Structure 1
Amino acid sequence: MLRRMVLSLGLTVGLGLGAQAADRPAPPPTAAEKELQAPLTLEDGKPTQGQAVSAPPSGLRAFGSLVLVLGLAGLSLWALKKYGRGRLPGSGGGKLRVEETLALGDRRFVSILDVEGERFLIAMTPQGINLVSRLDPTERGETGTFDEALNRQVDLGRPVPVREMEAMLKQGGGAQ
């Protein structure tokens, strides 16, 4: 309650002072101010900056400016797409590519990565990323290679103890 009273009193006083200042007439300009406000004329009769003749706004000029800006924006986007690809963060380069990803649920995924012609099957969990196996380059053209490689490495129907997974990774050549 006290806050509201102080706030309303402050607003009333502030508005009153503002209205009082607005009602007061401005003092007449002094002789020096009048001289500064007067346009400067030179002996040669040419206009100064304050007297520059300005052309009225032109619709054609505004349209030309709009076309120029849109053209520059389009040209920039085209150049970025053509020459800037791979240089932006997150766009990836030409050496690393995700071929396929399968969601297993609960923020768990299995993906095939292609790194300079070599393919890897990796498992991603909230705790980290594990290399499941290296894929054969001959499997690339076959259909269902992702599922076959996944089934060969891990039986998704049962939980795998950590020690068994470590042994599987060591014997499969995953931990190198």
Structure 2
Amino acid sequence: MHSDIAEVLFTEDEIAERVSEIGRAITRDYAHTADENGIVLISVLRGAAIFMADLARKIELPVEMDYMAISSYGNGAKSSGVVRILKDLTSEIEGRHVIVAEDILDSGLTLTYLLKNLASRHPASVEVATLLRKQTRAQAKIDCKYIGFECPDEFIVGYGLDFAERYRNLPYIGILKPEVY
């Protein structure tokens, strides 16, 4: 797998440090608003599951974790333009503080859909913590309160990000060689 990577963008250590910083920021920002119900962290499966697990361990407040599976990609390298909910939440989020832990903000299509869907459930607040925000011109305007890294408009994999379900287990984030996809 490592030989399929053209360049490492973010090392394992850089990712760990940035996730810790985001966890500290969330702890600070929600210290006086997170009641006994705590924060609900929502991960968009599958890519963000690794990020959310690491982030949850860095938040020093009560945290409930839940998962949604939403797809706009399939096995392709480009978004299909169609968003589908494959798995919905099991947690009740009405009146609760919600943070969506997203792996990457690319086109923003999936996240825009998800934020509208969550808002219709009447949470106290909804914020986004994205590990990566891609630098693209055609990106939807989404306010991300917590951003791990800005990244180039390249096909990237690792730390949960995949191509056709491969490379998620790489401990770093790298650019996939074009000949691979």
Higher helix share: 1
TM-score when normalising by structure 2: 0.21
TM-score, structure 1 normalization: 0.22
Higher strand share: 2
| Larger relative contact order, structure 1 or 2 (CA cutoff 8 Å, min sep 6) | 2
